[in-house]
Amino acid sequence: MSGCNMSSLEGCALLEPLEMELPEAEEDEGDTSLMPVSLRVTLAAIMIFMITIGFLGNSIVCLIVYQKPAMRSAINLLLATLAFSDIMLSLLCMPFTAVTVATTDWRFGVGFCRTSVMLYWLFVLEGVSILLIISVDRFLIIVQRQDKLTPHRAKVLIAASWVLSLCVSLPSVMGWRTGKAEAPRAPQCILGYSESLADRGYTVLLAVAVFFVPFSVMLYSYLCILNTVRRNATRIHNHASEGSVGVSHSSKLGLMGLQRPPPLSVDMSFKTRAFTTILILFIGFSVCWLPHTVVSLLAVFSRRFYFSAAFYPVSVGALWLSYLKAVFNPVIYCWRIRKFREACLEFMPKTCRFCPKVPGRSRRRIRPSNIYICSSESQSAV
């Protein structure tokens, strides 16, 4: 999080200074809350690795959609936008957090602190908005049986989500008074403890917009989807059982010149696999953002927690989890989506491949009839 406001937990600078001066005991207590140097350097190194994985993995998603027109379906455009927001988060926010975690000092000025918090919430809100749109789209397709999301509508929703995210994040750079730098207090710029109703209200707005509303809507959508999938699977299973019972009877009908329809056999895996991938992304979003949301609210509302020795390590852990989401998505794509794995191999230099293809086996003659069988797969989601 790279923001000068409460939830970003990334602060070396408080945008809102406290109205009263703290006792010396409390200031000393803040210094003792710092973690050992070796642990801080290790965490910073891990964050640099996270930046690399997040940038490369999400860039491949964007390149796939950009280079292949057949892949520019509505769901793929949404996934590419989600990947782009994670790329921006990895490049414009995470490096400064890594430096601050390693040095415990915000070295980039109060002005950039304001800018960084706005950028952080802009990209976070955009990513959450895209996940919300995808979840509602899956709900409409599977539960309501309404596939209304076209590429054009997806582009309109993407543009609207960017505008909405900008409107929500903009007050963090325009509405706060400049405060002093307080490096040992948190891993980067935050809004810290405040008794101002405006500060607390904005903090609650961010928590509601980033976590509580998306989590509630997505949880309801996925519960309905799971219930629908379960009922459909039960109905198909029962129908198949009835068909097997009538096999002997159908053989008798065949002797009389009559034919019975074959038992219904429907493969539901291709319909539910994409939903399962999105469900895993939702679980990752919940695990990564719940601790951060709780810590952010406590930092602004609880003076005792904010000035305790436990605040710094707890805020670092919540910050690390929130950034982990940008790395989590491409890892899930690589695990669940075959086309993404193939694209990774295409972009990877041949000298870096652990298992290069054997020329004799990799180049097989393709039968013309197979082209028609595989053509439908080119339209599948990323």
pLDDT tens, position by position, 59-86 = 988 988 888 887 888 988 999 999 999 9
Which fold does the domain 6-18+31-238+266-354 belong to in CATH? Rhopdopsin 7-helix transmembrane proteins (1.20.1070)
The share of the chain scoring above pLDDT 70, in percent, equals: 67
pLDDT score of 213: 93
Dist CA 124 CA 116 (whole Å): 12
> What does the block give as tokens for 150?
């076209």
* DSSP labels, 271-324: HHHHHHHHHHHHHHHHHHHHHHHHHHHHHHH-HHHHTSTTHHHHHHHHHHHHHH
Tokens 């039968």 — which residue? 367
pTM over 0.85: no
Are residues 378 and 70 in contact, defined by beta-carbon separation less than 8 angstroms? Answer: yes
> What does the block give as tokens for 236?
């198909």
Residues 6+ apart with CB under 8 A from 183: 12, 100, 104, 105, 106
Domain boundaries, the chain: 6-18+31-238+266-354
Q: Left (φ > 0), alpha (ψ -120 to 50) or beta: where does 181 sit?
A: beta
pLDDT tens, position by position, 276-293 = 787 888 888 889 889 988
Residue 352 gets which letter from DSSP? G
> What does the block give as tokens for 355?
């298992």
Residue 39 gets which letter from DSSP? H
